[in-house]
Amino acid sequence: MGVLKVRDLKWKYKEGKEVLRGVNLEAEKGEFIGVVGPSGAGKTTLALALMGIIPQRIPGTFEGEVIVCGLNTREADVSEITKRVSIVFEDPETQFVMSTVEDEIALGLEVRGLEPYEIRERMVWSLDLVGLSKDFLERSPLELSGGEKQRVAIASALALKPELLILDEPTSDLDPIGKTEVLNVVGKLREELDLTIIAVEHETEALARYADRIVVLVDGRVVLEGDPRRVFSKAKYLESVGVRPPEVTKITMELGLNPPAITVEEAFSKMCSFKPKATLKRRDVRRTSRGGKILLKLENVSYEYPNGVQAINEVSLEFKAGEFVAIVGPNGSGKTTLAKVACGLLKPTKGKVLIEGLDVGSLTRRILAKKIGYVYQNPDHQLFNQTVQDEIGFGLRVLGLSEKDINEKVLRMAERLGLKGLLDEHPFFLSKGERRRLALASVLVMEPDIIIVDEPTTGQDYKLNLDIMNILEDYRREGRTVIVISHAIPLVVRYATRLIVMLDGRVISDGSPYEILGDAEVVKKAHIQVPQTRRLVKMLEKTLNTKIEAYTPDEIIDYYR
């Protein structure tokens, strides 16, 4: 039975280019469809069109037809469509309108006229599904971590028990365990409720495991469609358009082991009898580099929020010039709070923060801006100017540069981060990925000695992620210190000289990527996402009875060639 039918869908925003250019898509009851594509391909626009928000609530030119759960989205009001269809947006804060989690989840249920006891049961049930206790009901959504906010948004959607669930980057702010738990829940619900799911997602490894069908959207058109194995076997094409195929797919394809694997288990079965042809040499000696002079030092630092939550507890760390450091750990472990304390946005309740030996609290804002910069996890908490050009140039004006110098630096930075054609746009008309790059540009342009970037790659496509990390790596090579907070372990191990692992407000491990990912106890405690390549290598090591120090697809491919 058809739940969704999209015919020749075209959409052009009132003041902008055509975003959807003849999309055709169908979904059957109980089907799980993954939608992938580069940033700006039209994925979120498509999700809005499936809800009727486009064309009913957003001005523009609409052509074609969308029939969802038997309703024509041009004829049935959005309020009628939402009785059968739920959506979870990439940024959960855009969905929150109530002051407590309880009221947030109850809002949609009350509209449906459910009895109070049933509303309560569904609230507790939906929170449990996403790994949150009923204690969260009394908390404000705005007090939660990014990952907790996303879980609440998903719980609010699941509580409605829709026929069709649309997920727009639903796990982008979740830690690896959170991603797995949520996708497990969604998969379980599909079976229990015969739920149809359309998930816009960059995590191809998760989609390979859960999705029945993959749709690749590029430049507003469906360019590829089929089961995960068929689609991900086009690995070179996918990488060329900004979609990262599963690591094991790339590995098995490069080694000529066809059909390619889409899971670690499949890759192992293909490679366990395949003998390596070379001795692997560690190609990147800086992975164990500890940098130069100390730029940033935290001495026995603790921070407690006004509501009594102890976010960080007696943390002592040093960061040196030339280091590329990744701070990792589960949601709520204190990573973002640590970053804000380190750069002076929050004053520690105990301990000291020193930048080149000086207490961070003693530095003027102008001096501090040259010493250390912080890029927020949510760019909307950082951006406030009327144009992209003014946003990038704001800090330079505070530093007192001439307009000539400001304009030159702004243009160079805009070009470097793919924002040159958007300089006259208002920041809030940009996609979230573009806003993330703008937030990064506005800090990088001031060239601080230390830059801390909170989740720099969330919501970006594969090519943009590599571009951003390469820019940060270039920054490190200039002798500066780069600190990133990230859940994207497969990406950061390609660049990081050091991983710091946090759990419950404390640092539980600090070392090179090799050391951290090789410590099974730390990996388990902190729910670290071990890259597919490393999981495959551990299985092969047992079979070959030899140690293989490979952590990226290219390293293992070199080992076997």
Q: Render 221-257 in DSSP notation, one character per residue.
A: EEEEEE-HHHHHT-HHHHHHTT-PPPHHHHHHHHTT-
CATH class of 285-531: alpha beta
Work out the end-to-end distance of the chain between its first and last CA atoms, rounded to an integer number of angstroms: 48
Pairwise CA distance, residues 534 & 333, whole Å:
24
Q: Quick one: pLDDT at residue 77?
A: 94
Query: Which residues make Cβ contacts (< 8 Å) with residue 162, sequence separation at least 6?
Result: 84, 85, 86, 195
Q: Quick one: pLDDT at residue 502?
A: 96
Is the pLDDT at 204 greater than 70? The verdict is: yes
Q: Which two tokens stand for residue 439?
A: 């937030």
Poorest-pLDDT segment among 79-83, 317-321, 420-424, 463-467: 463-467
Q: Which of 416, 385, 415 is nearest to 398 (CA)?
A: 385
The CATH architecture one would assign to domain 2-234 is 3-Layer(aba) Sandwich (3.40)
Q: CA torsion, points 129, 133, 137, 142, in degrees to nearest 10?
A: -90
Identical fold between 2-234 and 285-531: yes
Q: Where are the domains of the chain?
A: 2-234, 246-275+532-561, 285-531
Residue type, 430: L
Q: Is 150 helix (H, G, I), strand (E, B) or coil?
A: helix
Pairwise CA distance, residues 455 & 339, whole Å:
12
| Residues 275-281, mean pLDDT to the nearest whole number | 62
Q: Quick one: pLDDT at residue 290?
A: 55
- Residues paired with residue 87 on neighbouring β-strands, in sequence order: 166
Q: Quick one: pLDDT at residue 90?
A: 79
Pairwise CA distance, residues 126 & 30, whole Å:
19
Q: Quick one: pLDDT at residue 176?
A: 72
- Which residue has tokens 């307009």? 403
Q: Quick one: pLDDT at residue 467?
A: 87
Q: Quick one: pLDDT at residue 488?
A: 86
CA-CA-CA-CA torsion sign (364, 369, 370, 371): positive
pLDDT > 70: percent of the chain: 97
- The burial of 549, by beta-carbon neighbours within 10 Å (0-12 exposed, 13-18 middle, 19 or more buried), is given as middle
Instruction: Provide the edge-to-edge strand list for the sheet that holds 221-226.
Output: 85-88, 164-168, 196-200, 32-36, 213-218, 221-226
Residue type, 255: L
Q: Quick one: pLDDT at residue 280?
A: 52
Is the pLDDT at 106 greater than 90? The verdict is: yes
